[in-house]
Amino acid sequence: MRYDEMSREELQEELSALKQEYRKMQAMDLHLDMSRGKPCIEQLNLSMGLMDVLDSSSDLTCDDGTDCRNYGQLTGIEEARELLGDMMENNPNDIIIYGNSSLNVMYDTVSRAYTHGIMGNTPWCKLDRVKFLCPVPGYDRHFAITEYFGIEMIPVPMNEHGPEMSVVEKLVAEDEAIKGIWCVPKYSNPSGISYSDETVRRFARLKPAAKDFRIFWDNAYGMHHLYDEKQDYLIEILAECKRAGNPDLVYKFASTSKITFPGSGIAALATSPNNMEDIKKQLRNQTIGHDKVNQLRHVRFFGNIHGMVEHMRKHADILRPKFEMVEDTLARELGDSGIGTWTKPLGGYFIGFESLPGCAKKIVARCKKAGVVMTPAGATWPYGQDPQDTSIRIAPTFPPLDDLREASHLFCLCVKIVSAEKLLEEKQA
């Protein structure tokens, strides 16, 4: 029965029963972490072979003669550029291989624009105002970077096809202070939706007022499907920009952080030749080259893109039951209640949940009080301020399946309690 159709007496009776069940769950002394999208132990174990592909007797020479133990190869070894090129669907010549974290590369990219400008344009630090568009709900660590540099963040609503492009197009065309937009285009964080073909094409055909406007295209989950037969498809943005006559519009980021080891993977940036040259001017002063031994290790471990695809199928086999269990629990316990909606992604690391207005923070707080830690409500908005207080990010990947089952039930219980309290308060008013 829908909660909003209950009488005050029915709500009071329901709330009393819910709180009694909640106290029983508190007594279980749960200690579960659903706060971040971390791989679980079983996923990390899939990559233990990385530790065996190289040893002290290994030949650490690349096909072109590069000795990976020594200096050199600013943009990465050719084998790694080919592997990541296949992963990202880009020409290896348009790729720079970095260290272990794509978030670090994004930070560096913003920092470089802030201190030295992009392709000869005025450094952002010398401008009166710098703004960034932030699709919401979105990735909290993206927002943390722009907030750290004092860049003004403008929320842009998301729909099932991606950001509201009519809003994006209007804002970037009218305001020269808008220098970029954050995007997680495939299996988005936190909703799990993927951008439609039309959305990608409209991004490629943007007409920004600022010459140094860039799309920060974080394709973190490009390989992270849950199913073989059902997968989201994403138009390749660099090729689309080139077709549209906007070759320099995009910085595209990716990494193996949730493919191998999050702390020891390899990251990459793909972009146009003009942007590449601009970035390398700074990179030459920052490093002589990133960890080539780790790059070679990944190449030897996977062999080629086919090896990576098979590896990701093993990830999917671990994650799929977790996502399906959470979705089944939400449907069974909240499906006809009218007090929440959620996404059903085909990949990625998150399920997006929307509560009744004004309830998200209280739901997350109640979960924590009973031993389940979730991402803070509001984190999916710039400055941590969700104006409607509705957005909650569910991260099913890390806990074991049995623990996740308990956490999912507790979450639904907290949604019911907070929603019933809100509706009862409205009826009493």
Task: Give the contacts of 141 (CB within 8 A, at least 6 positions apart).
Answer: 103
Strand partners, 217: 183, 252
| CATH code for position 204 | 3.40.640.10
Answer yes or no: do 289 and 335 share one domain. Answer: no
Flag whether 49 is in a domain: no
**Six-digit token pair at 45?**
């174990």
Amino acid making up residue 55: D
Answer yes or no: do 39 and 65 share one domain. Answer: no
Answer yes or no: do 270 and 290 share one domain. Answer: yes
Give the C-alpha distances (Å, rounded to integers) separating 263 from 103, 255, 260, 392: 12, 11, 9, 26
Answer yes or no: do 362 and 247 share one domain. Answer: no
Strand partners, 158: 163
CA gap 216, 139 in Å, rounded: 12
Answer yes or no: do 93 and 40 share one domain. Answer: no
Answer yes or no: do 81 and 188 share one domain. Answer: yes
Which has the closest alpha carbon to 153: 191, 114, 181?
181
Dihedral sign of CA atoms 32, 36, 37, 42 in order: negative
Flag whether 52 is in a domain: no
**Six-digit token pair at 158?**
């998301």
Last residue of a domain, one of 273, 303, 333: 303
The confidence score (pLDDT) of residue 181 equals 98
Contact 228, 66 (CB under 8 A): no
Answer yes or no: do 279 and 206 share one domain. Answer: yes
Answer yes or no: do 387 and 243 share one domain. Answer: no
Answer yes or no: do 162 and 298 share one domain. Answer: yes
Answer yes or no: do 342 and 284 share one domain. Answer: no
| CATH code for position 418 | 3.90.1150.10
Last residue of a domain, one of 237, 269, 303: 303
Contact 359, 419 (CB under 8 A): yes
**In 318-426, where do the E strands start and end?**
340-342, 351-355, 372-374, 391-394
Flag whether 54 is in a domain: no
Flag whether 277 is in a domain: yes
Per-residue pLDDT of the chain in tens (429 residues, 90 and over written 9): 899 999 999 999 999 999 999 999 999 988 988 888 999 999 999 999 999 999 999 999 999 999 999 999 999 999 999 999 999 999 999 999 999 999 999 999 999 999 999 999 999 999 999 999 999 999 999 999 999 999 999 999 999 999 999 999 999 999 999 999 999 999 999 999 999 999 999 999 999 999 999 999 999 999 999 999 999 999 999 999 999 999 999 999 999 999 999 989 999 999 999 999 999 999 999 999 999 999 999 999 999 999 999 999 999 999 999 999 999 999 999 999 999 999 999 999 999 999 999 999 999 999 999 999 999 999 999 999 999 999 999 999 999 999 999 999 999 999 999 999 999 999 887
Which has the closest alpha carbon to 236: 225, 226, 244, 224?
244
The DSSP string of 29-96 is ---EEESS-PPPHHHHHTTGGGGTS--TTS--B-TTS-BTTSS--TT--HHHHHHHHHHHTS-GGGEE
Contact 345, 226 (CB under 8 A): yes
**Six-digit token pair at 353?**
């949940």
Flag whether 398 is in a domain: yes
Helix extents (H) in 287-357:
292-302, 305-334
Flag whether 51 is in a domain: no
**In 188-264, where do the E strands start and end?**
214-218, 250-255
The confidence score (pLDDT) of residue 36 equals 86
Answer yes or no: do 416 and 377 share one domain. Answer: yes
The confidence score (pLDDT) of residue 410 equals 97
Task: Give the contacts of 135 (CB within 8 A, at least 6 positions apart).
Answer: 155, 156, 157, 158, 162, 163, 181, 182, 183, 188
Answer yes or no: do 289 and 320 share one domain. Answer: no
Last residue of a domain, one of 275, 303, 331: 303
Report helix, strand or coil for 202: helix
The confidence score (pLDDT) of residue 427 equals 87
Q: Which domain holds residue 15?
A: 3-44+309-428
The number of distinct structural domains making up the chain is 2
Flag whether 288 is in a domain: yes
Flag whether 53 is in a domain: no
